[in-house]
Amino acid sequence: MISLFKKLFGRKGSASSSEANAEKARMPDSVQKIETYAQARDVARSGSKESRLDLASNEGTHKEILYYMAEHDPDPAVRRAVASNVSTPLHVSAVLAKDSDIDVRLALGERLCALLPDLNEDETSQIYAYAVQALATLALDEVIKIRKALASALKDHAHAPPKVAGQLARDIEREVSEPILRFCTVLSDQDLIDILKKHPQSWAVQAIASRETVSEPVSEAVIDTDDVESGKMLLKNEGAQISHQTIEAIIEKSRDYEDWQAPLALNKNLPSDMARELAEFAGESVRELLEQRVDFDDDVKVSIIRTFKRRLNFADEGARDKDADAATRVKRFADEENLTEEVIIDALGMRDNAFVFAALAHLAKTPEDSVRRVFSLHTAKPIVALCWKAGLSMRLALQLQKEVGHVQPKELLYPREGESYPLDEEALLWQLDFVGIK
């Protein structure tokens, strides 16, 4: 390329102007065209700013001359004209993307974004590679104005290069990354999940939760951040797909994040069996939302109403016995033959863990201190063994693992075939013996 520039822009001979004109008159048309090229070469090398600007703006200017001007012209206005010229070859973009003038880089970014729909037709071409390489350079530009302009241009661009969108989405500046996170459709799920893990600022999580469509894996990653406002926005987002497993996690977390309960009650992804679980602890306003669901059958609605009334009765009983300790209240329920699994579920819904511990101690015929020690281990098997000894269902044992034992999700023991205990009697007895319960 250097030799080419020397050849194109070397010093002229000493022939006089009149001799040159006379010689030109004797030249055939094809040679006169070369002379016109030579004149353009001279303008690019030493012409006035106005003449160089005209040359840089002219779509008929030879590509090699435009390349020379992009790299060597001292005036940013001229280089900016080169960047905007549709005839400027795209391999020059690598030079212009590193230009010292901000406006030159902005002009290049604008031109490249406008070209993307046509270039996208052949993403394997070298021309496309030149464009993406230049855009990637601009996406890392030290001047925030450049990155912001590029993000604004690409956020709604269906042909935005995924690599460039990913760079902008990870930008530390909110005004650059937020529009991409919220609107850019070419970002992959893996990009979004990676950002949620490494860039968990609340505004970034909220931008992702508000996207027009959110896949199940991304929804799960949003919930895993424990950002309350983002979870609320996700639940209200009709374009968000949420798996049953994630809904289950949301229900559990909504015990602490009450702002999630109402949008969860209205969410299309909430199955009827989980609606019953939500009704165990949600307030009356949420229960009314569940009752109004047209996609739940009458049996589900009746079950929700019955659950809510039963829980209110439990709360009323506790209010009447407010001066009694948990063990006394449990004994009264037992004396009246009302210490049922439903009562323990109601106690869980009311966050009355003292009652739960006392009830388990009574049913398992073991000291309450032993019960509390079992749950302090945060381990699944001892909790399951204790529930088995107390005569409770494995479904409740699973609930107790989660809500009182705070067992890690990967370590939870689930019912076998939906309801049976997953450990045999020998294993259960061994667990009880291990924690000192006979």
List the domain range (segments joined by +) for residue 214.
188-268
For residue 383, the model assigns a pLDDT of 96
pLDDT digits (tens, 9 = 90+) for 190-228: 999 999 998 768 999 999 999 999 999 999 999 999 999
The token duo for 351 is 């966050």
Q: Is the pLDDT of residue 391 over 70?
A: yes
DSSP 89-132: -GGGHHHHTT-S-HHHHHHHHHHHHHHHHHHGGGTTSHHHHHHH
pTM confidence score: 0.71
Residue after which a domain boundary falls, among 229, 252, 268: 268
List all residues 6 or more positions away from 251 whose beta carbon is below 8 Å from its beta carbon.
264, 274, 277, 278
Please indicate, yes or no, whether residues 374 and 416 belong to a single structural domain of this protein: yes
Burial tier of 159 (Cβ tally within 10 Å: 0-12, 13-18, 19+): middle
Say yes or no: 301 and 331 in one domain: no
Confidence tier at 409 by pLDDT (50, 70, 90):
confident
Residue 74 in contact with residue 66, Cβ under 8 Å? no
Q: What percentage of the chain exceeds 90 in pLDDT?
A: 65
Please check whether residue 54 lies inside any domain of the structure. Answer: no
Residue-wise pLDDT for 138-166, tens only, equals 999 999 999 999 999 999 998 899 999 99
378 and 434 in a single domain? The answer is yes
Mark whether 240 and 194 lie in a shared domain: yes
Does residue 119 register a pLDDT over 90?
A: no
Averaged pLDDT score across all residues of the chain? 87
> Is the pLDDT reported for residue 242 higher than 90?
yes
**10 DSSP 8-state letter:** P
Domain-embedded: residue 405: yes
Is 332 in the same domain as 420?
A: yes
Rounded to the nearest 10 degrees, the angle between the axes of helix 341-349 and helix 394-403 is 20
pLDDT of 294 higher than 50: yes
Tens of pLDDT, residues 359-386: 999 999 999 999 999 999 999 999 999 9
CA pair distance 249, 77, nearest whole angstrom? 58
| Structure tokens that stand for 90 in this block | 């795209």
Helix, strand or coil, per DSSP, at residue 435: coil
Same domain, 238 and 280: no
Q: What is the DSSP code (8-state) at residue 214?
A: B
pLDDT at residue 122 in the model = 64
Same domain for 264 and 276, yes or no, is no
Six-digit token pair at 309? Answer: 């009334």
> By CB neighbour count within 10 A (0-12 exposed, 13-18 middle, 19+ buried), where does 273 fall?
exposed
**Residue 387 located in a structural domain:** yes
Residue 404 forms part of a structural domain: yes
If one counts the domains in the chain, the total is: 3
DSSP code of residue 311: H
Q: How many CB atoms lie within 10 A of CB 363?
A: 20
What pLDDT digit, counting tens, does each position of 155-197 carry? Answer: 999 889 999 999 999 999 999 999 999 999 999 999 999 999 9
In a domain, 406, yes or no: yes
pLDDT value of position 183? 96
Question: What number of other Cβ atoms are within 10 A of residue 38's Cβ?
Answer: 12
Question: 287 CB contacts (<8 Å, ≥6 apart)?
Answer: 279, 304, 305, 308
**Confidence grade of residue 321 (pLDDT, cut at 50, 70, 90):** low
Residue 306 lies in a domain: yes
Residue 230 domain-assigned (yes or no): yes
Instruction: Write down the pLDDT at residue 196.
Output: 95
Q: Give me the sign of the Cα torsion angle 351, 318, 368, 433.
A: negative
Same-domain pairing of 378 and 366: yes
Indicate if the pLDDT at residue 117 is higher than 80. Answer: yes
Contact 402, 248 (CB under 8 A): no
Is 111 inside a domain boundary? no
Residue 166: burial class (beta carbons within 10 Å; 0-12, 13-18, 19+): buried
Amino acid, res. 332: R
Are 372 and 363 a contacting pair, CB within 8 Å? no
Q: 233 and 301: one domain?
A: no
- Are 195 and 241 contained in the same domain? yes
What sections of 58-212 are H helices per DSSP? 63-72, 76-84, 93-96, 102-119, 126-139, 144-154, 162-169, 174-183, 189-198, 202-209
Q: Which residues of 376-414 are buried (b: 16+ CB within 10 A; e: fewer)?
A: eeebbbbbbbbbbbbebebebbbbbbbbbbebeeeeebe
296 and 371 inside one domain? no
CA pair distance 285, 279, nearest whole angstrom: 10
Are 330 and 431 within one domain? yes
